Amino acid sequence: MQIYVIKPGDNLWRISNLYNISPERLIEANRIPNPNNLVVGQTIVIPIQGMYHFVQPGESLFSISSMYGISPQELARINGIADPNLIRPGLRLYIPQVERPDIYTAAYIDLALSKERAQEIVSEVGPFLTYLNVFSYPIRRDGTLQPVDDQAALQAAKNNRVLPIMVVTNFEEGTFKTEIATAIFTDEALQDKLLNEILSVMQEKGYAGVDFDLEYLGRENRERYVAFLQKAVDKFRPLGYEVSVALAPKLSEDQQGVLYEGHDYRAIGEVVDYVNIMTYEWGWSGGPPMPVAPINEVSRVMDFAVSQIPSDKIMMGIPLYGYDWRLPYERGGQWARALSPQRAVALAAQVGAAILFDEKSQSPYFHYYDSSGNRHEVWFEDARSVQAKFDLVKEYGLRGLYYWVLGNEFPQNWLLLNDNFNIIKEERPLQ
């Protein structure tokens, strides 16, 4: 597919003529929230097989063919060009779709969503997912799990051939607790109690595996966590269950901070089936305005990750949201408001803001003033930013990618995901 960026004076009729597709199809595919008020800098995905290239001054058939990995002869044949030396600027060339790699995909779903909304979302995006990570089963201090109502999400996953994954956390009262993990890791009896209950839930409810999202462990739990994971793998793998782990986005083995020090990339990668690396939240609701997942920072994390963990065990995280900060930013002040990519575009249209694009981070953003005269800064994801992340998955040859978190509308993502990759769908009978 092709990504088109709105320019001054553009409208859907002009764009549809340019690409030989109806305005209605563009609106439907992208679910354009502002079809009669397009925003400069807004992206539209052109839902066609392959893409078009408009010849620029100085380009040749050879340079264009090199750009897309196709021979000049094949490009000339497809486009009916008799003399390759006579192509002119403005000529529209059709570029066929390239081969798509096979990958695994996953998305986390928060059980705070209503049953109806959970079913609606999973039914909509299920065709694009291998796994549905159900967030979450919190660990209690006595080694048991807090029960949750996950039946709606599980039924929707089953209906769409998506493998449900049980997410276990050290989450309590709105935050991750180091002391809960420490209590489990230092008591064999509590470990046995916890693992037995996880197994019981997986067997009863039809989960395909467990994802340990244990965060803020601290240096003291670094080796303990690996030993616990080995115990879990030894118990679950023979029964056909996969064990995965959510990892903080590290840049080095000795990175400081309670979030990072408890995650030993190399040791954990050797034990578990795969890892989910949380490559997002550089820009977060309590911090200063910046991209949520800047590609330059994500690349640095991936550079380190593949030096420690086999690439075919790595799932790279992608956010399905952005943030709206009120300026000036004050540490400890008002937190930024989360919003979906769709809502961000609708907001830009509403306030008359042009969408800008930061090339270094490959992220869109804009500014506006609210009705009280306060200036705002919004960073979010669009077709360009998510395509840059897909390209990174291909570049590093990763196992796949996952999303945090379902419930934020981003139709362009699913269009491009399906265009870039073949999604692996597994039927895995459990013993």
DSSP label at residue 139: B
Of 215, 377, 381, 409, the active-site residue reads 215
User: Would the pLDDT of 429 be above 70?
Assistant: no
What's the start-to-end Cα distance of the chain, in Å? 41
Q: CA distances (Å), 29 to each of 4, 32, 44, 102, 421, in order?
A: 13, 8, 9, 23, 18
User: For 360-389, what is each residue's pLDDT tens digit?
Assistant: 999 999 999 999 999 999 999 999 999 999
163 class by beta-carbon count within 10 Å (0-12 exposed, 13-18 middle, 19+ buried): buried
- Residue 114 and residue 156 in contact, taking contact as beta carbons nearer than 8 Å: no
Task: Look over the chain and give the mean of its residue pLDDT values, rounded to a whole number.
Answer: 96
Closest CA to 213 of 402, 392, 381: 402
At residue 431, the pLDDT reads 45
Q: What is the pLDDT of residue 18?
A: 92
Find all residues with CB under 8 Å of 302, minimum gap 6, and list them. Answer: 277, 279, 314, 316, 392, 396, 398
9: left (phi over 0), alpha (psi -120 to 50) or beta: left
Active site residue 59: no
Exposed/middle/buried for 90, CB within 10 Å: 0-12, 13-18, 19+?
Answer: exposed
Average pLDDT over residues 17-41: 96
Tell me: the pLDDT tens digits for 395-422? 999 999 999 999 999 999 999 999 999 9
> Is the pLDDT reported for residue 430 higher than 60?
no
**What are the pLDDT digits (tens) for 303-358?**
999 999 999 999 999 999 999 999 999 999 999 999 999 999 999 999 999 999 99
Q: What is the pLDDT of residue 399?
A: 98
What percent of the chain lies above the pLDDT cut of 70? 99
Q: Which domains does the chain have, with CATH numbers?
A: 2-95 (3.10.350.10), 102-423 (3.20.20.80)
Of 431 and 213, more confident: 213
Query: Sign of the C-alpha dihedral, residues 299, 304, 305, 307?
Result: positive
DSSP secondary structure code for residue 85 in this structure:
G
Q: What percent of the chain has pLDDT over 90?
A: 94
Q: Average of pLDDT values for 69-84?
A: 91
